[in-house]
Amino acid sequence: TPLVRLTACDKSYGNIIALGGISLEVDAGEVTCVLGDNGAGKSTLIKIIAGLHKPSHGSYEVDGVPVTFDSPREALERGIATVYQDLAVVPLMPVWRNFFLGNEVRKRLGPVRRLDIDFMRKTTKKELLDMGIDLRDVDQPIGTLSGGERQCVAISRAVYFGAKVLILDEPTAALGVKQSGVVLKYIVQARERGLGVIFITHNPHHAYPVGDRFLLLKRGKAIGYYSKDEITRDE
Ligand code: ADP
Ligand code: ADP
């Protein structure tokens, strides 16, 4: 069974069809890229997979078990983590403190106030290093990191707190060439660790080198769903 299986999903807002008949599968150790211009339905698709919006029709399963959409935390609790473009980080707080921010921490480790600061600093440094980022100083405010590094911290954080699937919302959109490269390398790392990745982007040059499958959206419709092989063959 795939980690994520979306079957023939529709989503309408009044008489606007934001998504029509979208199917998508994500396996462990696989990157699915979702490409489309503004208004293609990317945000709507993210909200469905993140468990925040119930599709008007169609089904959504995680590990073969239907998502009920009874609670906004359901998908997250089942391992679907979203890293949004406008990251939920507190710029003036140290990197390590941002790493240990949020509900997932409490669930896995208990209240933060009971955790040892040195444990949090070392863990942050180690987790980043394991994914290939050597931050000399995890005490610096996260706001002093580059946009690419901040994305990487957010990705590492989700991995550490047990995500099985990462939804990355335009993680390279606001970045230059070099920083985009850092994030793309990180995406490959996450895949190598066996996560399923859903990489939302409007940039084919970023999708192509890291993607295993490609869903092309236009005005809410799938105009293509290709494996890497198919794309290479068609060229
Ligand atoms: P994208 O993220 O690719 O830009 P969206 O998913 O935001 O696309 O939007 C897809 C379509 O659905 C657009 O036409 C948009 O205006 C419409 N839409 C999205 N959300 C809503 C909403 N809450 N109410 C009405 N229309 C919406
Ligand atoms: P993005 O650029 O990240 O795709 P948008 O600016 O399209 O985001 O949309 C931001 C938010 O507004 C989303 O939650 C989307 O669902 C909602 N939205 C988009 N279009 C409409 C619309 N026509 N009416 C109401 N809400 C909308």
Q: How far is the CA of 13 from the centre of ligand 1 (A)?
A: 8
Three-state secondary-structure class, residue 16: strand
Q: What is the pLDDT of residue 234?
A: 53
Element (DSSP H or E) covering residue 2: none
Tokens of 201: 């982007």
Q: What is the pLDDT of residue 107?
A: 76
Ligand found nearest the CA of 202: 1
Residue 36: CB within 6 Å of ligand 1?
Answer: yes
For residue 14, which atom of ligand 1 is closest to its CA? 25
Q: How far is the CA of 157 from the centre of ligand 1 (A)?
A: 29
Note whether ipTM > 0.85 here: no
d(CA 37, CA 107): 37
DSSP 121: H
d(CA 42, CA 210): 19
**pTM surpassing 0.95?**
no
d(CA 235, CA 232): 5
For residue 220, which atom of ligand 1 is closest to its CA? 10
Q: What is the pLDDT of residue 110?
A: 76
Whole-angstrom CA distances from 125 to 84, 121, 161, 226 are 22, 6, 15, 37
Q: What is the pLDDT of residue 179?
A: 86
Residue type, 76: L
Q: Where are the alpha helices (DSSP H) in the chain?
A: 42-49, 74-77, 95-99, 103-109, 117-130, 147-160, 177-192, 204-210, 228-234
Q: How far is the CA of 17 from the centre of ligand 2 (A)?
A: 13
Q: How far is the CA of 175 from the centre of ligand 2 (A)?
A: 22
For residue 36, which atom of ligand 1 is closest to its CA? 3
**Crossing angle of helices 117-130/147-160, nearest 10°?**
110
Ligand found nearest the CA of 220: 1
d(CA 77, CA 95): 24
**Crossing angle of helices 147-160/177-192, nearest 10°?**
10
DSSP secondary structure, 155-210, as one string: HHHHHHTT-SEEEEESTTTT--HHHHHHHHHHHHHHHHTT-EEEEEES-HHHHHHH
Q: How far is the CA of 38 from the centre of ligand 2 (A)?
A: 10
Torsional sign, CA 41, 47, 48, 49: positive
pLDDT in tens, the chain (235 residues): 999 999 999 999 999 999 999 999 999 999 999 999 999 999 999 999 999 999 999 999 999 999 999 999 999 999 999 998 767 678 899 999 999 987 677 777 777 778 889 999 999 999 999 888 888 899 999 999 888 888 889 889 988 988 999 999 999 998 888 889 989 998 999 999 999 999 999 999 999 999 999 999 999 999 999 998 887 775 5
Whole-angstrom CA distances from 34 to 140, 142, 188 are 34, 29, 16
Q: What is the pLDDT of residue 232?
A: 74
d(CA 151, CA 95): 12
For residue 42, which atom of ligand 2 is closest to its CA? 4
